[in-house]
Amino acid sequence: MSIPLSWYLILSAALFSIGLFGVLARKNAVAILLGIELMLNAVNINLVAFWRYGTGSIAGQVFAIIVFAVAAAEVAVGLALIISVYRRRSTVIADDLDLLKW
Amino acid sequence: MTFWNDPINLIAGWLRDVFMGWGMTAGLANVITSLIGIIVMILFAMLIAIALVWVERKVVARFQDRLGPNRIGPFGIFQPFADIVKLIIKEDITPAGADKVVFNMAPVISLASVILIWAIVPLASKIYGVDINVGVLYLVAVGSFGTLSVIMAGWASNNKYALIGAFRMVATMISYEIPMVVALMIPTIIAGTMSVKGITEAQSNLWFVILSPLGLLLFMISAIAELGRSPFDLNEAESEIVAGFHIEYSGMKFGLFYAGELLHAFTFGGFMAVLFFGGYGGFFGLEKLSAFTWLSNPFIELVVFLVKALIGYWIIMWVKYSMPRIRIDHMLTFNWKFLTPLAFVLLMMTALFDKLLAPTQFYVVGMFLSNVVLAWIVIEILRRYSKRERVEHEKNAEPVIQVAHH
Amino acid sequence: MTPDQIIFLLCAALIVSSALMVVTTRNLVHAALWLVAALFGVAILYGLLQAGFLALVQVVVYIGAIAILFIFAVMLTRREKRDKGPQINQNWMISALLAFLTFGGLTYILSSWDGFSKTANALPTGVDTLMVLGKALVSPDAYVLPFEVASILLLAALVGAVFIASSSKE
């Protein structure tokens, strides 16, 4: 209870930036998805911190739960797509997947 | 509060006074007392694990019509110590090409995931680690650490058999998590709280097994699958993949996996007792009579809980040593086509009847009968389905011996 | 330094260092395991924020399902056992610059908000957060509609993922 809100916000901004770096700078498609997961977690920390330090509406926690569901759905479909691409092209390096058909 | 009525709080208060008498602040004394409490609880759990090694070997011997260990000590009770010494003096091998950090961390995480459960197990009304209000969800969360440790062990061993065993085991564990979560929801709905201690106290008049026997069956089946014991022990199918994901582990690392598995089975036996059989209490209101108030004594409750947990563990062992192993595709079909729909139907039915019948006096009879009706319907559906399969199979079958007509 | 602050600083160190290892390590299975460490740190943070239910749901959903999905996907999409070559593509300097600018920008914008440094009020006693959350998720004048839409989304993702990942021969 003696932790100011700024600590949580700075932590979530840092985690978001690290995730952004992961998405932009990695070659492997699965590694890009790992970066996206980090960004989603940063957003969730922000939401729950605002619920705690706010005026008492439960909206922060509800939004965080919806983000959990969306992240799970997105990871499932994203990984299914990556596995399907790997079956066809035998590669998941994002740089090599730049043509629709050859 | 005397020692016999409230042992843990008395000892904790005395320790705190001792520490503050040594000049520490109240906060630090609290932290150190809690640490000592944690260590005592872990010691208790590990001592039970040591005793379980002997129990397991004697019981499996009797099931297989032989005597079991009886050389070391009377009835072989010092056998676990011989096992421990053997495991400690074995050579500690890390296979070449294995991922050293992950390889060494996997058994630690596996045992940690089991010991973490003991933080919420209510041993008596005044002896427990902590009473969080989402205890049932904590059980599921800690199980996911076990899944992680299996896949870490399988991948880090640099061995095809280990990887196949780990994949099968993880497929089993995550598939059977769903019926287990639903089965855990059933006592939650009936008791109205997710806290494990609250569920135990809601059974002080009536055990939940009478209100929902199908829930107990569902929990037992999915718990046995989560543990990775027979008939779901694809990961250590000795005739197929030679001990599965812990094939490369020798010495005390294997000991950690082994002790963790036994303790996990006992913990699930304990949870069967807590969630459905009344836990440390559940004397049908008997302890309120003046002649029986000694039943609320923490030590008596501890003994009652341990007896019930041992009975639950014996049932799990009974299933293990009586049934053959089932195939991986049968296992997944059983889960996704039978157990999960049954679990959801049971959950909806329990919630509906709980809401409808709660104010009336038909509650107990209604819940029990609804379970019986659902079980009967399920058995009928299974019977029709298997009869149809058998008819179709017999239609396609060719005669074995060609009958000569002349 | 109160114990809360010490726990928060340790937790933040765990999260940030694990996240850095996720985005820089070469071995992808190690990256997935570092993600598990980061997610566990976030779960501890939820516990600190007194959202215990969310902490456990984080462990169950993220570590118990999503991280394991990642490990499986990494194992199923690799050509040889060791990852050869660098895992960072050639834009990494601009990406690092962009990440720093994002972090700086977010911190600057937030610090000019006057509620930035407030400390938390005590939670109102006698209110069971879990009950409030449960009621809010199913009551018609609260959040039942997003809840139902999320469940339809999960159903669509389930069917879609099974269909996409199944082999195309049948």
Cβ-based neighbours of B118, under 8 Å, separated by 6 or more: B41, B42, B44, B45, B129, B267
Put simply, the answer to whether C60 touches B27 (Cβ < 8 Å) is: no
Tokens matching residue C141: 């004048």
The pLDDT score that the predictor gives to residue C122 is 63
- Beta bridge mates, A93: A28
Residue A89 included in any domain: yes
Question: Residue C81: is its pLDDT beyond 60?
Answer: no
pLDDT band, residue C85 (cuts 50/70/90): low
pLDDT band, residue C170 (cuts 50/70/90): very low
Which pairs with CB-CB distance under 8 Å and at least 24 residues apart come from B291-295?
none
The pLDDT score that the predictor gives to residue B403 is 65
Count of domains in chain A?
A: 1
Q: For A45-87, what is each residue's pLDDT tens digit?
A: 999 998 888 777 888 899 999 999 999 999 999 999 998 888 8
The whole-angstrom distance between residue B389's C-alpha and the CA centroid of its chain comes to 35
Residue A11 structural domain: 5-96
Q: How far apart are alpha carbons C39 and C36 in whole angstroms? A: 5
Q: How far is CA B328 from CA A88, B175, B289, C166, in A?
A: 28, 12, 52, 18
pLDDT band, residue C50 (cuts 50/70/90): confident
Q: How far apart are alpha carbons C41 and C45 in whole angstroms? A: 6
The highest-level CATH class for domain C1-82 is mainly alpha
The pLDDT score that the predictor gives to residue B389 is 87
CATH code where residue A36 lies: 1.10.287.3510
Q: Which residue has tokens 């913990």?
A: B267
Q: How far is CA B288 from CA A34, B278, B283, in A?
A: 57, 16, 9
pLDDT means over runs of 10, chain B (406 residues): 74 83 80 88 91 88 86 83 88 81 90 92 85 90 91 85 84 91 93 90 86 92 86 64 72 87 92 89 72 76 90 91 85 90 93 85 85 92 91 78 63
Mean pLDDT computed over C52-64: 92
Residue A76 included in any domain: yes
- Beta bridge mates, A26: C88
Q: How far apart are alpha carbons C52 and B379 in whole angstroms? A: 40
In this prediction the pTM is 0.89
What is the per-residue DSSP string for C36-55? HHHHHHHHHHHHHTT-HHHH
For residue B277, the tally of other CB atoms under 10 A from its CB is: 19
Q: For C20-36, what is each residue's pLDDT tens digit?
A: 999 988 888 899 999 99
Whether chain B lies against chain A with 3 or more Cβ pairs closer than 8 A is no
Q: Which of A13, A59, A74 sits opposite C107 (nearest CB)?
A: A13
Put simply, the answer to whether C33 touches B152 (Cβ < 8 Å) is: yes
Chain A stretch 20-79, residues whose beta carbon is closer than 8 A to a beta carbon of chain C: 20-22, 24-28, 30-31, 33-35, 37-38, 41, 44-45, 48-49, 51-53, 56, 58-59, 61-62, 64-66, 68-77, 79
Residue A49 included in any domain: yes
Q: For B3-30, what is each residue's pLDDT tens digit?
A: 777 777 888 888 888 888 887 777 788 8
Q: How far is B170 from chain C (nearest CA, A)?
A: 9
Residue A102 included in any domain: no
Which pairs with CB-CB distance under 8 Å and at least 24 residues apart come from C161-164?
C161/A76, C161/A77, C161/A79, C161/A80, C162/A80, C164/A77, C164/A80, C164/A81, C164/A84
Put simply, the answer to whether C19 touches A49 (Cβ < 8 Å) is: no
